[in-house]
Structure 1
């Protein structure tokens, strides 16, 4: 098998799934660091453009809003162009987008943010096809979780490396964005030079994108297992975003220094990467829905305990806040593996893309919902505790689906 992004054909040895897994993990790191590049450089870029740094929130919203729609039509794109070719398209989008962002032209930056969402929305459906094709069934939750660990690792790369290039080395935010395009460009070049994707399947797009999207959504909602996964994707993505977005402001509100809170946030990101891998191992032994139930229960319990955070010893406060990141971010790989296993034959990309629409819904709605709750109660600890119901609901739904599947396999 060629050492490239083109990974067609079944593996002929038990360990050949490692190579496509490594490649898809690198692609995930490049994708995440690309869409967060401007976020990491927001203060410098905002000063140069003469706007407030808070405007970066609108840019991220544009990315995820566009990504939601891209996930919806990802199935037909992957089936038409083939997964390896879609990965190439995604990498080209990030290279071009980062270079355009570096121009500092506001209108172009808005358009590129929408384009970034397309690339990001296509990433998981395409990579899921590749990983599902090459990974042994007993290792799929682990493989998908390792690949998803590229998300927090990409965030660390963006928020550590790019500010250092822009400020510490004095290159400026625009030059840092140009250098951020080097990793996706390298992966794209490697793919173009080595390997041949399968031929384009032109007939896959004849039905029409919108009609196809609606049909795939009906298929998701009419199947109890897929319907449960869709709800879990919405709930758990909301949990993850809340844990990420407010993990700094809450301790600062309770008297922590910004530096101390930032260190806990960094530890939370690293535990998020480790947690994805650990929970992937657990899912391969316990089962996907049992592990998703465990994730919801643990996340709900930690969120509930944050109401009393100020009364706990400092080490316990750090453990709870950092542990929340490890648990709330650990669901992605288990979820994607379950989506791939439950997909009809040849429909892994379509099934994954249709389900990921609901994760984007959770990402878009969660900040507003939490802000509304905080506006009512005026306390971050109480807001987190009230939000714990999201985790407990996810645990209950996962447990119910696990029991339903167990009843299906019992003899009549």
Structure 2
């Protein structure tokens, strides 16, 4: 579907050229919140996703988003740090930032620090001091040595924190959860007025990959804001930052931006000139995704009919959205995750039980569907260690 409305104002550039192009109704409002029973999971609260595309700046957002529906608390489990592949990349990213910005003996703030893993890397590798903000922080998840360098505040970052001096402010996988996008970016810029030499680093999902791959499993309620390289750079320039670099990470799944407090000096990145290419992807996305959903649904229905034991590997947001969207009852009995904190819980809406990898030793699945292809090699290795060789297929 594609529809125009004069009532929608882009929260990134504040222009009124927004068109709704995709709908996913009754989506779980939390996809990383731990759910203790199947009954609670099946009856989990839902909300609607209606993605709007701004033809002025290329920003994409959920026009139907209601912040009051989403919970951010210690009941949320978003950590990817139990994967060796992720940990290696995370440490490499931290070291690159430390080297590039000379982060040795400096003061660092992280907005949306989660369980504190990345901030602990930045502070541990560079001998820095840190302050982390996140209502989902859990004290028991960080080592005593790391905690000695960091002050964690289980709350949201705001203008009240402008008295804090910092050399480096980072914000990973958080901006996509912010509905008032420009307001938030402006607040961050203002909050650094006492740190005029500070550098900032933000990381968000890459919407270009989602659109290109018809990755319906990567569109979920908590993510109310979706960025391309151009819309990300334009946002930061508009609110007063001088953009230094825009990049892609994690096999193009993430976008990163590095900037400094400034006056919004125009940056000559070719990546900013992407509105026309985004328009093309957006125009066909709504027609391509139903075909993708139908193909996966047919495959799962076929497995069910033949009695093929199928599991999904990845109990995070991708797995939640994949199974709740397909809604093929009885096709997938279990979803696997390497994060032990998820085991024994259930996926929102589908009610699928989460198990650890060792469960598969006795269950012996015939097919394993991998939600994130970056982990496929790692997963195949885990399966082999349990003496298993099922068919392993990836969503993309």
Q: TM-score, normalised by structure 1?
A: 0.25
Higher relative contact order (CA 8 A, sep 6+): 1
Greater strand proportion: 2
Q: TM-score, normalised by structure 2?
A: 0.26
